[in-house]
Every structure is written in C-alpha cells, then in structure tokens.
C-alpha cells in the first residue's frame, strides 16, 4: 500500500503542507496549514468509482488497467516530530 505523507513547512512567508516537492498554497498561520493538510489527508481516504483506465508510459506505450476505486493510500500529516491524524470527514462528523 502507498503511504502519502504531508509535511508542514514554512513557505512563501507563511506555512504550507508539502508532498514530496509539491507545496500547497501558503497559509498565514501554522495551525491553518495543519488543518488544511488534515482535511486533504482525510479526503485521500474517500473511495471513488472503480473504472477501466488508459495511460501512456514514458516510452509512449499505452496501457489499460482496472482501477479499484476503494484502493486508497494510507495518509499522515507530520510537523517535525508531531503527527496529526486526518480529520474525520464521515457524514455527521
């Protein structure tokens, strides 16, 4: 299973969450960046519809495969040594 880790970092005069080398928008406060990252992490847990997909690899070859809409990555939000669980996005939460 894939694990997606969002890291809270200073960015563009404020705070952002980062996944690998991709940054979110800058938030004015640290707590706003943490909350935004927790929401995004929780949204990663919501399954979608299964579908047949086509994609092209770097050599130009096309592939077709079945994508299971319920196959979701594990997510985590980190800030230094602190770990934040995703927010609960279940209905009624």
Give residue-wise pLDDT tens across range 31-74.
999 999 999 999 988 888 888 999 999 999 999 998 888 788 88
| Helix/strand/coil for 9 | strand
pLDDT band at 87 (very low <50, low <70, confident <90, very high): low
Domain segments of the chain: what residues? 4-84
Cα separation of 13 and 50, whole Å?
A: 40
Q: Is the pTM value of this prediction over 0.75?
A: no
Q: For the chain, where are the E strands, in sequence order? A: 3-11, 14-19, 22-23, 51-56, 62-67, 74-79, 82-84
């Amino acid at each position: 299973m894939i694990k997606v880790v969002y890291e809270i970092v200073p960015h563009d005069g404020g705070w952002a969450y980062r996944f690998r080398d991709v940054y979110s928008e800058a938030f004015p406060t640290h707590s706003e960046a943490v909350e935004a990252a927790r929401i995004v992490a929780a949204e990663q847990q919501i399954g979608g519809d299964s579908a047949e997909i086509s994609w092209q690899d770097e050599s130009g070859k096309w592939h077709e495969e079945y994508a299971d809409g319920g196959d979701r990555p594990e997510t985590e939000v980190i800030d230094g040594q602190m770990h934040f669980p995703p927010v609960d996005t279940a209905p009624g939460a």
